[in-house]
């Protein structure tokens, strides 16, 4: 990735803004974001660069995408309405933005002869299948409107690859965390919520008994694998994860220790659509994309705590 013209949809969001920062070092970057879940603060430190163009707009606007994708090399499609609970409450908007927005992105990429589209999918497409680790060839079993919308995007990517010869990669993210993740939304992910509560001497809240497990992925590793996916000749679906799992109880206690606090955990009822266990097989990404996670959970949490303390 050097001297390329790149579009990042959702580039003011958590993962998108981390991707912007890395890619801006050697490339021209266009960010499209309607700021419904993204935040200009996430790209404030780079917005004055001559190499970045910010467009306030939505992936639901096909005309905008057609104009913006002219002469673009790569498209990193991060824009989405995130969160399983939010999709349970409002399935229409999740589908409209996530599924239709992905279709629009692929149409504009095809029409403008982009080199490749890298699509942010989700481990939620696996659902609660008891087999661990999750492998890309397992039958999907989505349990929420969010998961259905992400799976729909994957199917569109595969169809555009086979019918229109548009190279696509779908990256199934497993519980991404790190700097710039919003802790304030009612749908905030578990790690920023835990960290901000604990730093403010409040109890972290666990849904269920805390025995559920997750395979967490540090955002720097996600940025790296996105770039590897663009540069690689490989196409298709890939798990992106740390490749190890931790219980939510263990996670809460790790953050309490690293924040040097003495706080008890609060337990509340489990949430609809949440899965019990998650662990990825990342062999395919290692073999085809040369992906190797650099951060273990302790190192990643330390980096994230430092960012929140700042």
Supply the Cα-derived Rg of the chain in whole angstroms: 18
Residue 60 is assigned to a structural domain of this protein:
yes
Q: Distance between CA 173 and CA 277 in Å, rounded?
A: 15
- For the segment 101-123, what is each residue's pLDDT rounded down to a tens digit? 999 999 999 999 999 999 999 99
Q: What is the pLDDT of residues 118-157, one digit of tens each?
A: 999 999 999 988 899 999 999 999 999 999 999 999 999 9
Quick: pLDDT tens for 271-292.
877 788 999 999 999 999 999 9
Is residue 37 domain-resident? Answer: yes
pLDDT digits (tens, 9 = 90+) for 241-264: 999 999 999 999 999 999 999 999
Catalytic, 126? Answer no
Mean pLDDT of the chain: 96
Mean pLDDT throughout 221-235?
Answer: 98
Q: Is residue 253 part of a domain?
A: no
Q: CB under 8 Å to 272, separation ≥6 — which residues?
A: 85, 88, 144
- Total domains in the chain come to 1
Neighbouring C-alpha atoms within 13 Å toward the C-beta of 261 = 21
* DSSP SS3 for 266: strand
Residue 74 lies in a domain: yes
Which of the residue ranges 63-67, 185-189, 259-263, 287-291 would you say has the lowest mean pLDDT?
185-189
260 vs 172: CA distance, rounded Å: 33
Q: Is residue 302 part of a domain?
A: no
What whole-number distance in Å separates Cα of residue 95 and Cα of residue 266?
A: 33
Q: Which domain holds residue 55?
A: 5-173+217-241+280-294
Q: Which residues does residue 172 pair with via DSSP β-bridges, in sequence order?
A: 121, 239
Q: What are phi and psi of 76, to 5 degrees?
A: -105, 110
pLDDT of residue 84: 87
pTM: 0.95
Bigger pLDDT: 35 or 128? 35
Domain assignment present for residue 232? The answer is yes
Structural domain contains residue 43? yes
Looking at residue 212, what DSSP letter applies? Answer: -
10 Å CB burial of residue 170 (0-12, 13-18, 19+) is buried
Q: What CATH number has the domain bearing residue 34?
A: 3.40.50.720
Among 74, 119, 146, 291, the one annotated catalytic: 146
Burial class (CB in 10 A: 0-12, 13-18, 19+), 303: middle
Residue 113 lies in a domain: yes
């Amino acid at each position: 990735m050097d001297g390329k013209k790149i579009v990042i949809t959702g580039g003011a969001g958590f993962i998108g803004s981390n991707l912007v920062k890395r890619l801006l070092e050697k490339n021209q970057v266009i960010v499209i974001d309607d700021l419904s879940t993204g935040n200009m603060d996430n790209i404030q430190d780079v917005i004055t660069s001559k190499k970045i163009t910010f467009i306030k707009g939505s992936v639901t606007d096909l005309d905008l995408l057609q104009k913006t994708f002219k002469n673009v090399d790569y498209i990193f499609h991060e824009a989405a309405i995130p969160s399983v609970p939010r999709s349970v409450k409002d399935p229409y908007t999740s589908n409209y933005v996530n599924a239709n927005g992905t279709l629009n992105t692929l149409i504009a990429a095809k029409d403008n002869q982009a080199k490749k589209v890298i699509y942010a999918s989700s481990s939620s497409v696996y659902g609660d299948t008891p087999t661990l680790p999750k492998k890309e060839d397992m039958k999907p079993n989505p349990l929420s409107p969010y998961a259905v919308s992400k799976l729909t995007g994957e199917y569109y990517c595969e169809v555009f690859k086979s019918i229109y010869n548009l190279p696509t990669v779908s990256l199934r993210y497993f519980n991404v965390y790190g700097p710039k993740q919003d802790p304030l939304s009612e749908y905030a992910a578990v790690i920023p919520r835990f960290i901000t509560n604990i730093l403010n001497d409040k109890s972290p809240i666990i849904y269920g008994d805390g025995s559920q497990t997750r395979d967490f992925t540090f955002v720097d590793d996600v940025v790296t694998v996105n770039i590897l996916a663009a540069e690689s000749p490989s196409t298709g679906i890939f798990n992106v994860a740390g490749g190890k799992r931790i219980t939510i109880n263990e996670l809460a206690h790790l953050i309490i220790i690293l924040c040097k606090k003495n706080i008890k955990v609060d337990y509340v009822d489990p949430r609809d659509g949440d899965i019990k266990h998650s662990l990825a097989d990342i062999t395919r990404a290692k073999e085809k994309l040369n992906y190797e996670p650099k951060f273990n959970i302790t190192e990643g949490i330390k980096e994230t705590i430092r960012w929140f303390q700042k």
